Amino acid sequence: MNDDERGPTEPLTSGPFAGVPKTIAELAQSLTDFVERAVGIRPDYMPETLPLVDHYAREVRSRISERPELLALTAQAMGAYFGEVVRRNLVGFWFVPSANLHDYQMCGEAAFVAINPIGAAFDAIVGSSEHDGPTSRLRLAPEDRAAVEDRLAQLPEVREEEYYLLSTRYEVLEIAMEAARAEASRRGYEDMTYSAEDYFIEPRPLLN
């Protein structure tokens, strides 16, 4: 079976999207098309492009009162792109067990930290966590929770309008992964890596 024949949740086998579900790859690429048409620059999956995506999110926010269907459609594409930025630059993998957007997770390989990127995109577009989309709360190992929360508490406060930006969320994820990795190293697990079985073999609490 070649990549063109794969089902929507089956991973692609080659190219920059190797290991990524086909539907995610297609959504992420559609986001790059949307942003290029809007601002004239095509995002290239680097963290530095996230402010462009945040700008596009604000444009969509201004139109969803007239076209509410834009929210879910854009959030899926934007979340796929955001997840790909995280996967490629912070080293992670997608876990997409079903077509239910609430089940999507981007999981760290070197640190036990996971997030639903689609939920983060809903937050960015709405400018709030008050919506019908998936939650964007971080998923952490219980033994890392205190260390991660302490590290995040040291971050300078940001204005509410900046809190939900994908560029801000990326920085938070990066710091959370560093803190979780440091805590694992302190316990003697500096070479630990994680797979889907580690994340989903048993329920893990969410960081509120």
Does the pLDDT at position 10 exceed 90? no
Share of the chain above pLDDT 90, in %: 78
7 Cβ partners below 8 Å, 6+ apart?
Answer: 22
**Can you give the pLDDT at residue 21?**
93
Does the pLDDT at position 208 exceed 90? no
pLDDT averaged over every residue in the chain: 91
**Can you give the pLDDT at residue 206?**
47
pLDDT tens per residue across span 111-129: 999 999 999 999 999 999 9
Does the pLDDT at position 95 exceed 80? yes
pLDDT tens per residue across span 137-164: 999 999 999 999 999 999 999 888 899 9
Q: How confident is the model at residue 98 (pLDDT cuts 50, 70, 90)?
A: confident
d(CA 107, CA 31): 21
**Can you give the pLDDT at residue 205?**
45
Q: Give the 3-state secondary structure of residue 115.
A: strand
Pair 95, 86: CB distance under 8 Å:
no
pLDDT tens per residue across span 21-36: 999 999 999 999 999 9
